[in-house]
Protein backbone atom coordinates (compact mmCIF):
# COMPACT_ATOMS: atom_id res chain seq x y z
CA UNK A 1 0.00 0.00 0.00
CA UNK A 2 1.56 3.26 -1.15
CA UNK A 3 0.89 6.43 0.88
CA UNK A 4 -0.83 9.29 -0.95
CA UNK A 5 0.92 12.65 -0.95
CA UNK A 6 -1.32 15.73 -0.99
CA UNK A 7 1.06 18.65 -0.97
CA UNK A 8 3.03 18.42 2.28
CA UNK A 9 0.50 16.03 3.78
CA UNK A 10 0.53 12.25 3.68
CA UNK A 11 -2.28 9.74 3.91
CA UNK A 12 -0.90 6.39 4.95
CA UNK A 13 -4.18 4.80 3.90
CA UNK A 14 -5.96 5.98 0.72
CA UNK A 15 -9.21 6.78 2.51
CA UNK A 16 -11.40 9.80 3.06
CA UNK A 17 -14.27 9.60 5.52
CA UNK A 18 -17.17 11.37 3.87
CA UNK A 19 -18.56 14.49 5.55
CA UNK A 20 -22.02 13.92 7.03
CA UNK A 21 -24.23 16.67 8.36
CA UNK A 22 -25.81 17.80 10.46
CA UNK A 23 -23.59 16.71 13.33
CA UNK A 24 -22.98 13.13 12.20
CA UNK A 25 -19.31 13.69 11.42
CA UNK A 26 -17.75 16.14 13.81
CA UNK A 27 -14.48 15.98 15.75
CA UNK A 28 -14.84 12.50 17.26
CA UNK A 29 -15.32 10.63 13.99
CA UNK A 30 -13.03 12.82 11.89
CA UNK A 31 -10.26 12.69 14.46
CA UNK A 32 -10.48 8.91 14.79
CA UNK A 33 -10.20 8.39 11.02
CA UNK A 34 -7.24 10.77 10.76
CA UNK A 35 -5.53 9.00 13.66
CA UNK A 36 -5.64 5.77 11.62
CA UNK A 37 -3.84 7.55 8.75
CA UNK A 38 -6.78 8.58 6.58
CA UNK A 39 -8.56 11.88 6.03
CA UNK A 40 -11.25 12.60 8.60
CA UNK A 41 -13.89 15.09 7.51
CA UNK A 42 -16.03 17.38 9.68
CA UNK A 43 -19.29 18.55 8.13
CA UNK A 44 -19.65 22.33 8.38
CA UNK A 45 -23.42 22.12 7.90
CA UNK A 46 -24.93 23.70 11.04
CA UNK A 47 -21.92 22.43 13.00
CA UNK A 48 -22.97 24.57 15.98
CA UNK A 49 -26.47 23.08 16.20
CA UNK A 50 -26.02 22.28 19.92
CA UNK A 51 -24.59 25.69 20.82
CA UNK A 52 -26.80 27.47 23.42
CA UNK A 53 -27.30 30.50 21.11
CA UNK A 54 -27.87 28.51 17.92
CA UNK A 55 -31.60 29.21 17.61
CA UNK A 56 -31.19 32.98 17.86
CA UNK A 57 -27.75 33.29 16.22
CA UNK A 58 -27.15 30.23 14.02
CA UNK A 59 -24.36 31.57 11.81
CA UNK A 60 -22.42 33.06 14.74
CA UNK A 61 -22.80 29.78 16.63
CA UNK A 62 -21.52 27.78 13.67
CA UNK A 63 -18.52 30.05 13.14
CA UNK A 64 -17.67 29.83 16.84
CA UNK A 65 -18.01 26.05 17.01
CA UNK A 66 -16.27 25.12 13.77
CA UNK A 67 -12.75 26.06 14.95
CA UNK A 68 -13.37 24.12 18.19
CA UNK A 69 -14.30 21.02 16.21
CA UNK A 70 -11.23 21.32 13.98
CA UNK A 71 -8.88 21.73 16.94
CA UNK A 72 -10.46 18.81 18.83
CA UNK A 73 -10.23 16.56 15.77
CA UNK A 74 -6.57 17.40 15.25
CA UNK A 75 -5.85 16.68 18.90
CA UNK A 76 -7.49 13.26 18.56
CA UNK A 77 -5.53 12.62 15.33
CA UNK A 78 -2.22 13.15 17.16
CA UNK A 79 -0.48 14.44 14.05
CA UNK A 80 -1.59 11.57 11.83
CA UNK A 81 -3.52 11.72 8.56
CA UNK A 82 -5.46 14.85 7.64
CA UNK A 83 -8.41 16.70 9.14
CA UNK A 84 -10.65 18.31 6.53
CA UNK A 85 -14.00 20.11 6.43
CA UNK A 86 -16.86 19.45 4.03
CA UNK A 87 -18.51 22.74 3.03
CA UNK A 88 -21.43 22.99 0.62
CA UNK A 89 -20.95 25.61 -2.08
CA UNK A 90 -24.57 26.75 -1.60
CA UNK A 91 -23.88 27.71 2.02
CA UNK A 92 -24.74 31.28 2.95
CA UNK A 93 -21.62 33.21 4.07
CA UNK A 94 -19.50 30.73 2.07
CA UNK A 95 -16.50 33.07 2.09
CA UNK A 96 -16.68 33.57 5.86
CA UNK A 97 -16.85 29.81 6.41
CA UNK A 98 -13.85 29.19 4.17
CA UNK A 99 -11.78 31.80 5.96
CA UNK A 100 -12.83 30.41 9.35
CA UNK A 101 -11.82 26.89 8.31
CA UNK A 102 -8.43 28.05 7.02
CA UNK A 103 -7.66 30.19 10.07
CA UNK A 104 -8.56 27.27 12.37
CA UNK A 105 -5.88 25.16 10.69
CA UNK A 106 -7.91 22.57 8.79
CA UNK A 107 -5.77 20.61 6.37
CA UNK A 108 -8.29 20.64 3.52
CA UNK A 109 -11.70 21.80 2.32
CA UNK A 110 -13.86 19.37 0.36
CA UNK A 111 -16.71 21.17 -1.34
CA UNK A 112 -19.75 20.11 -3.34
CA UNK A 113 -23.47 20.93 -3.84
CA UNK A 114 -22.69 23.65 -6.36
CA UNK A 115 -19.74 25.13 -8.22
CA UNK A 116 -17.01 26.45 -5.85
CA UNK A 117 -15.74 28.99 -8.34
CA UNK A 118 -14.23 31.39 -5.77
CA UNK A 119 -12.63 28.81 -3.47
CA UNK A 120 -9.02 29.49 -4.62
CA UNK A 121 -9.50 33.19 -3.95
CA UNK A 122 -10.83 32.63 -0.45
CA UNK A 123 -8.06 30.17 0.48
CA UNK A 124 -5.24 32.30 -0.94
CA UNK A 125 -2.41 32.70 1.56
CA UNK A 126 -3.28 29.54 3.48
CA UNK A 127 -1.89 26.04 3.11
CA UNK A 128 -5.37 24.52 3.22
CA UNK A 129 -5.79 22.05 0.35
CA UNK A 130 -8.90 22.28 -1.82
CA UNK A 131 -10.94 19.60 -3.56
CA UNK A 132 -14.23 19.78 -5.44
CA UNK A 133 -16.77 16.96 -5.32
CA UNK A 134 -17.79 16.10 -8.87
CA UNK A 135 -19.96 13.48 -10.52
CA UNK A 136 -19.07 14.00 -14.19
CA UNK A 137 -16.01 14.81 -16.26
CA UNK A 138 -17.84 17.87 -17.58
CA UNK A 139 -18.36 19.29 -14.09
CA UNK A 140 -14.73 18.66 -13.20
CA UNK A 141 -13.51 20.42 -16.32
CA UNK A 142 -15.79 23.43 -15.76
CA UNK A 143 -14.38 23.92 -12.25
CA UNK A 144 -10.72 23.22 -12.98
CA UNK A 145 -10.67 25.26 -16.21
CA UNK A 146 -12.16 28.21 -14.34
CA UNK A 147 -9.66 27.89 -11.49
CA UNK A 148 -6.82 27.59 -13.98
CA UNK A 149 -7.91 30.57 -16.05
CA UNK A 150 -8.77 32.94 -13.21
CA UNK A 151 -6.42 31.90 -10.40
CA UNK A 152 -3.64 29.86 -12.06
CA UNK A 153 -4.58 27.16 -9.55
CA UNK A 154 -5.82 23.61 -9.68
CA UNK A 155 -7.32 21.09 -7.27
CA UNK A 156 -5.11 19.34 -4.75
CA UNK A 157 -7.28 16.22 -5.03
CA UNK A 158 -10.70 15.24 -6.39
CA UNK A 159 -13.66 13.41 -4.89
CA UNK A 160 -15.75 11.67 -7.53
CA UNK A 161 -19.17 10.91 -6.06
CA UNK A 162 -21.29 8.24 -7.68
CA UNK A 163 -25.07 7.73 -7.74
CA UNK A 164 -25.06 5.26 -4.82
CA UNK A 165 -23.85 7.88 -2.33
CA UNK A 166 -25.90 9.21 0.57
CA UNK A 167 -27.28 12.67 1.12
CA UNK A 168 -27.38 15.16 -1.72
CA UNK A 169 -26.64 13.71 -5.14
CA UNK A 170 -25.37 15.30 -8.34
CA UNK A 171 -27.58 13.19 -10.58
CA UNK A 172 -31.05 13.50 -12.08
CA UNK A 173 -34.01 11.61 -10.66
CA UNK A 174 -34.14 9.69 -13.95
CA UNK A 175 -30.59 8.34 -13.57
CA UNK A 176 -31.20 7.46 -9.93
CA UNK A 177 -34.30 5.50 -10.93
CA UNK A 178 -32.32 3.41 -13.45
CA UNK A 179 -29.00 2.75 -11.75
CA UNK A 180 -28.61 -0.73 -13.24
CA UNK A 181 -28.37 0.75 -16.74
CA UNK A 182 -26.10 3.69 -15.88
CA UNK A 183 -22.42 3.12 -16.63
CA UNK A 184 -20.76 5.25 -13.96
CA UNK A 185 -17.47 3.36 -14.38
CA UNK A 186 -17.07 5.00 -17.78
CA UNK A 187 -17.58 8.42 -16.21
CA UNK A 188 -14.93 7.70 -13.58
CA UNK A 189 -12.41 6.68 -16.24
CA UNK A 190 -13.23 9.87 -18.17
CA UNK A 191 -12.56 11.99 -15.07
CA UNK A 192 -9.25 10.22 -14.41
CA UNK A 193 -8.22 10.82 -18.02
CA UNK A 194 -9.36 14.45 -18.14
CA UNK A 195 -7.53 15.51 -14.96
CA UNK A 196 -4.18 14.52 -16.52
CA UNK A 197 -4.21 17.77 -18.51
CA UNK A 198 -4.08 19.72 -15.26
CA UNK A 199 -1.50 17.38 -13.74
CA UNK A 200 0.80 17.99 -16.70
CA UNK A 201 0.34 21.74 -16.58
CA UNK A 202 0.98 22.01 -12.83
CA UNK A 203 3.57 19.21 -12.75
CA UNK A 204 2.04 17.29 -9.85
CA UNK A 205 -0.41 14.50 -9.21
CA UNK A 206 -4.04 15.18 -8.43
CA UNK A 207 -5.24 12.11 -6.50
CA UNK A 208 -8.79 10.92 -7.21
CA UNK A 209 -10.99 9.37 -4.53
CA UNK A 210 -14.11 7.47 -5.54
CA UNK A 211 -17.20 7.83 -3.34
CA UNK A 212 -20.66 6.28 -3.31
CA UNK A 213 -21.53 2.68 -2.51
CA UNK A 214 -18.05 1.78 -1.20
CA UNK A 215 -18.79 -0.82 1.45
CA UNK A 216 -16.14 -3.55 1.40
CA UNK A 217 -12.68 -4.53 0.16
CA UNK A 218 -14.04 -5.70 -3.20
CA UNK A 219 -15.48 -2.21 -3.80
CA UNK A 220 -12.09 -0.69 -2.99
CA UNK A 221 -10.36 -2.99 -5.47
CA UNK A 222 -12.89 -2.07 -8.13
CA UNK A 223 -12.41 1.65 -7.48
CA UNK A 224 -8.64 1.34 -7.87
CA UNK A 225 -9.08 -0.69 -11.07
CA UNK A 226 -10.75 2.36 -12.63
CA UNK A 227 -7.57 4.40 -12.17
CA UNK A 228 -8.50 6.14 -8.92
CA UNK A 229 -6.07 6.54 -6.05
CA UNK A 230 -8.37 5.86 -3.13
CA UNK A 231 -11.94 5.88 -1.85
CA UNK A 232 -14.29 8.00 0.21
CA UNK A 233 -16.52 6.09 2.64
CA UNK A 234 -19.31 7.54 4.77
CA UNK A 235 -22.19 5.15 5.54
CA UNK A 236 -19.93 2.45 6.99
CA UNK A 237 -18.64 4.90 9.61
CA UNK A 238 -22.02 5.85 11.09
CA UNK A 239 -22.53 2.73 13.23
CA UNK A 240 -19.21 3.19 15.02
CA UNK A 241 -18.45 4.09 18.61
CA UNK A 242 -16.63 7.21 17.44
CA UNK A 243 -19.43 8.62 15.26
CA UNK A 244 -20.85 11.86 16.64
CA UNK A 245 -24.53 10.98 16.04
CA UNK A 246 -26.89 9.72 18.76
CA UNK A 247 -27.25 6.02 19.53
CA UNK A 248 -30.80 6.11 18.10
CA UNK A 249 -29.45 7.45 14.81
CA UNK A 250 -26.86 4.69 14.65
CA UNK A 251 -29.47 2.08 15.49
CA UNK A 252 -31.59 3.28 12.55
CA UNK A 253 -28.69 2.36 10.28
CA UNK A 254 -28.22 -1.02 11.92
CA UNK A 255 -31.91 -1.88 11.55
CA UNK A 256 -32.25 -0.53 7.99
CA UNK A 257 -33.00 -2.82 5.05
CA UNK A 258 -32.31 -2.14 1.39
CA UNK A 259 -36.01 -1.52 0.75
CA UNK A 260 -36.06 1.23 3.41
CA UNK A 261 -33.92 3.52 1.24
CA UNK A 262 -35.63 6.17 -0.87
CA UNK A 263 -34.84 9.24 -2.98
CA UNK A 264 -36.25 12.52 -1.65
CA UNK A 265 -36.58 16.06 -2.98
CA UNK A 266 -34.30 18.33 -0.96
CA UNK A 267 -34.94 22.05 -0.41
CA UNK A 268 -31.40 22.50 -1.74
CA UNK A 269 -32.85 21.70 -5.16
CA UNK A 270 -31.14 18.33 -5.53
CA UNK A 271 -32.21 14.72 -5.05
CA UNK A 272 -31.14 13.11 -1.81
CA UNK A 273 -30.92 9.53 -0.57
CA UNK A 274 -32.41 8.84 2.86
CA UNK A 275 -34.17 6.25 4.98
CA UNK A 276 -37.92 6.11 4.60
CA UNK A 277 -39.53 6.97 7.93
CA UNK A 278 -42.54 8.83 9.34
CA UNK A 279 -40.99 12.21 8.49
CA UNK A 280 -40.26 11.32 4.88
CA UNK A 281 -43.78 9.93 4.41
CA UNK A 282 -45.29 13.17 5.74
CA UNK A 283 -43.12 15.27 3.44
CA UNK A 284 -44.03 13.16 0.42
CA UNK A 285 -47.69 13.67 1.29
CA UNK A 286 -47.47 17.46 1.43
CA UNK A 287 -45.47 20.57 2.29
CA UNK A 288 -44.60 21.33 5.91
CA UNK A 289 -44.93 24.90 7.15
CA UNK A 290 -41.51 26.29 8.02
CA UNK A 291 -41.32 28.29 11.23
CA UNK A 292 -38.08 30.11 12.00
CA UNK A 293 -35.81 29.88 8.93
CA UNK A 294 -32.08 29.46 9.66
CA UNK A 295 -31.18 31.18 6.35
CA UNK A 296 -28.45 28.59 5.83
CA UNK A 297 -28.64 27.81 2.10
CA UNK A 298 -28.62 30.11 -0.90
CA UNK A 299 -30.87 27.79 -2.91
CA UNK A 300 -33.58 27.39 -0.26
CA UNK A 301 -36.69 29.58 -0.14
CA UNK A 302 -38.70 29.00 3.06
CA UNK A 303 -41.90 30.10 1.29
CA UNK A 304 -41.69 27.29 -1.26
CA UNK A 305 -39.43 24.70 0.38
CA UNK A 306 -41.21 21.44 1.25
CA UNK A 307 -39.62 21.45 4.73
CA UNK A 308 -36.70 22.88 6.71
CA UNK A 309 -33.82 20.54 5.98
CA UNK A 310 -31.69 21.94 8.82
CA UNK A 311 -34.34 21.24 11.44
CA UNK A 312 -35.04 17.79 9.98
CA UNK A 313 -31.36 16.82 10.11
CA UNK A 314 -30.91 18.27 13.60
CA UNK A 315 -33.89 16.27 14.85
CA UNK A 316 -32.43 13.10 13.36
CA UNK A 317 -28.92 13.44 14.76
CA UNK A 318 -30.38 14.08 18.21
CA UNK A 319 -32.44 10.90 17.99
CA UNK A 320 -35.90 12.28 17.16
CA UNK A 321 -36.24 9.96 14.19
CA UNK A 322 -39.97 10.39 13.57
CA UNK A 323 -39.37 14.10 12.92
CA UNK A 324 -35.95 13.75 11.34
CA UNK A 325 -34.33 13.21 7.97
CA UNK A 326 -31.83 10.33 8.00
CA UNK A 327 -29.49 10.58 5.02
CA UNK A 328 -27.77 7.31 4.05
CA UNK A 329 -25.97 5.53 1.24
CA UNK A 330 -27.58 2.98 -1.06
CA UNK A 331 -25.94 0.07 0.77
CA UNK A 332 -26.94 1.00 4.31
CA UNK A 333 -28.68 -2.38 4.54
CA UNK A 334 -25.25 -3.99 4.86
CA UNK A 335 -24.58 -2.14 8.13
CA UNK A 336 -25.79 -4.59 10.77
CA UNK A 337 -23.81 -4.01 13.97
CA UNK A 338 -21.99 -1.44 16.05
CA UNK A 339 -18.26 -1.40 15.49
CA UNK A 340 -15.26 0.94 15.58
CA UNK A 341 -13.41 3.10 13.08
CA UNK A 342 -10.42 0.81 13.32
CA UNK A 343 -12.54 -2.24 12.44
CA UNK A 344 -14.19 -0.54 9.46
CA UNK A 345 -10.77 0.35 8.08
CA UNK A 346 -9.58 -3.20 8.74
CA UNK A 347 -12.53 -4.51 6.70
CA UNK A 348 -11.61 -2.25 3.78
CA UNK A 349 -7.85 -2.76 3.98
CA UNK A 350 -7.52 -5.92 1.83
CA UNK A 351 -8.86 -3.85 -1.07
CA UNK A 352 -5.83 -1.57 -1.18
CA UNK A 353 -3.25 -3.96 0.26
Considering only CA atoms, which of 203, 116, 210 is closest in space to residue 158? 210
Span 169-221, pLDDT tens digits: 888 888 888 887 789 999 999 999 999 999 999 999 999 999 999 999 999 99
- pLDDT value, residue 166: 92
Q: What is the mean pLDDT of the chain?
A: 92
Q: By mean pLDDT, which of 91-105, 153-167, 276-290, 308-322 is the weakest?
A: 276-290
pLDDT of residue 61: 94
C-beta separation of 348 from 233 below 8 A: yes
| 313 CB-near residues (< 8 Å, 6+ apart) | 21, 22, 23, 45, 46, 324, 325, 327
Between residues 180 and 247, which one has the greater pLDDT?
247
Q: How far apart are CA 268 and CA 226, in angstroms?
A: 31
For 261, residues 6+ apart whose C-beta sits below 8 A from its C-beta are: 273, 274, 275, 276, 328, 330, 332, 333
Amino acid sequence: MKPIEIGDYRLNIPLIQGGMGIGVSRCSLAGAVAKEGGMGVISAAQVGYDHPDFRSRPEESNLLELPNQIRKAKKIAQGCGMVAVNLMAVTQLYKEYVECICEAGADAIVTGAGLPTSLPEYTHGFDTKIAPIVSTAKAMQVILKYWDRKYSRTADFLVVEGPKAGGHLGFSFEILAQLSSYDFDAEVRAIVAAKRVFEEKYQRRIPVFLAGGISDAQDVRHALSLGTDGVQVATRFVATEECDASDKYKEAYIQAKEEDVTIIHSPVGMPGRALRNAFVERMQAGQEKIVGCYNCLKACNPKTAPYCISQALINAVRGDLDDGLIFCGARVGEVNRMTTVKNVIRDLAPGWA
